[in-house]
Amino acid sequence: MAKRFSVKISKSWCKGCGLCIGICPKKVLELDGQVKCEPVRPEDCIGCRQCENVCPDFAITVKESE
C-alpha cells in the first residue's frame, strides 16, 4: 500500500508567501481565506518534503501517517 502523509501547518507562523504552493508537485496546498497555507488535498501528498524545506517560516511539517 502506498504511504500516506499528513501536512501540518502552523497558522500563526505562516505568512502566506506562497512558495510552498508553487513548489508542491502534487498541488496539495492552497491559500485559505485568511491568506494562510492550507493542505486542501492531503491525500495526494507524496512526502517529498520540498514544502517543509523551502518554508522560510518553519510553518510546515510533513509526517508519515500511521
Q: How far is the CB of 23 from other proteins (least distance, A)?
A: 7
Q: How far is the CB of 6 from other proteins (least distance, A)?
A: 12
Q: How far is the CB of 48 from other proteins (least distance, A)?
A: 11
Contact (CB, 8 A) for 40 and 27: no
Q: Which residues bind other proteins (CB under 8 A)?
A: 12-13, 15-19, 22-23, 50, 52-61, 63
User: For other proteins, which is the closer residue by CB, 13 or 41?
Assistant: 13
Q: What secondary structure letter does DSSP report for 8?
A: E
CA-based radius of gyration for the chain: 11
- Rounded distance between C-alpha atoms, residue 45 and residue 25, angstroms: 9
